[in-house]
Amino acid sequence: MTSEQPLQREHLGAAATAAQNRGLPPTSLIDSDLSEEQKLIGEIQALLLDKLSIRVETPEADLLQTGVLDSVAQVHLLLHLEKHFGLHLPMENLEIDSFLSVVNIAKMVANCARAQAAWPAPAKESEARRELIVEIQALFSEKLAIEVEAETDLFQSGIFDSMMLVQFILLLEDRFAFHMPLEELDVDSFNSVERIADLVEVRTRVTNQPNSLHARR
């Protein structure tokens, strides 16, 4: 195999280090009973099944040619990968082949983790991130007259119902200049202000990168 050759152990071990350095819970990437590569592939297969209801029987299966992973699913998967592994996967650095198979996705995650493991652990949340969260909180306050903490569960607290969610999506689209078709809606992305901030970051990166994932077919 070429692009699907076994991943180097040091690359995969870096994912746990990257998550810890960024103040996120370490994932279960290291297991004495399984190789690093097998464990990472297994986690990605589980993520596809649990979050996107996509069952992938073999890691080498072509997810694009079979239509299993379309452009909408790629964006959703990117969000879930970033959250699960505690990584930042820059849209501008990704190619369509990055999502060709589970093996390719694992290689992408491992390479990104290796690079980010060398990053110094941030003492605090980045200023840009804090500003984005404050801006989203301001939308709630100014447009809906609702004060909300960044970690509050917006559904369990009763802030969001179906009508309020649609109204807030329209506010987000107007404020951050992106479009989110309802068929692409992942309700989990609106559980809290922090999750909404994750969504805004990814959607704005997609909008601003015309030559990235959606450009190649």
Question: What are the average pLDDT values for consecutive 10-residue runs of the chain, which has 217 residues?
Answer: 44 49 47 71 93 91 89 84 83 78 92 75 68 93 91 93 91 89 82 92 70 42
Q: Which pLDDT score, from 0 to 100, does residue 12 have?
A: 45
Q: Which pLDDT score, from 0 to 100, does residue 175 have?
A: 92
> Is residue 132, in this structure, part of any structural domain at all?
yes
| CATH number of the domain residue 36 falls in | 1.10.1200.10
Q: Are residues 75 and 95 in the same domain?
A: yes
Residue 113's domain spans which residues?
9-117
> Is residue 122, in this structure, part of any structural domain at all?
no
Q: Are residues 97 and 162 in the same domain?
A: no
> Is residue 4, in this structure, part of any structural domain at all?
no
Q: Are residues 81 and 110 in the same domain?
A: yes
Q: Are residues 74 and 21 in the same domain?
A: yes
Q: Are residues 152 and 98 in the same domain?
A: no
Q: Which pLDDT score, from 0 to 100, does residue 29 have?
A: 44
Q: Which pLDDT score, from 0 to 100, does residue 132 have?
A: 93
Q: Which pLDDT score, from 0 to 100, does residue 10 have?
A: 45
3-state secondary structure of 75: helix
Residues 6+ positions from 186 with CB-CB distance below 8 Å: 76, 79, 199
Q: Which pLDDT score, from 0 to 100, does residue 178 have?
A: 86
Taking the model in full, what pTM does it have?
0.52
Tokens read off for 1: 């195999």
Number of separate domains in the chain: 2
Q: Which pLDDT score, from 0 to 100, does residue 62 have?
A: 94
Q: Are residues 27 and 102 in the same domain?
A: yes
Q: Are residues 51 and 131 in the same domain?
A: no
Q: Are residues 29 and 112 in the same domain?
A: yes
Q: Are residues 139 and 113 in the same domain?
A: no
Q: Are residues 47 and 104 in the same domain?
A: yes
Q: Please count the CA atoms within 13 angstroms of the CA of 143 that sit on its side-chain side.
A: 16
Domain boundary among 97, 117, 137: 117
Q: Which pLDDT score, from 0 to 100, does residue 35 have?
A: 80
> Is residue 210, in this structure, part of any structural domain at all?
yes
Token look-up 């804090």 returns: 130
Q: Which pLDDT score, from 0 to 100, does residue 133 have?
A: 92
Q: How far apart are CA 144 and CA 4, in angstroms?
A: 49
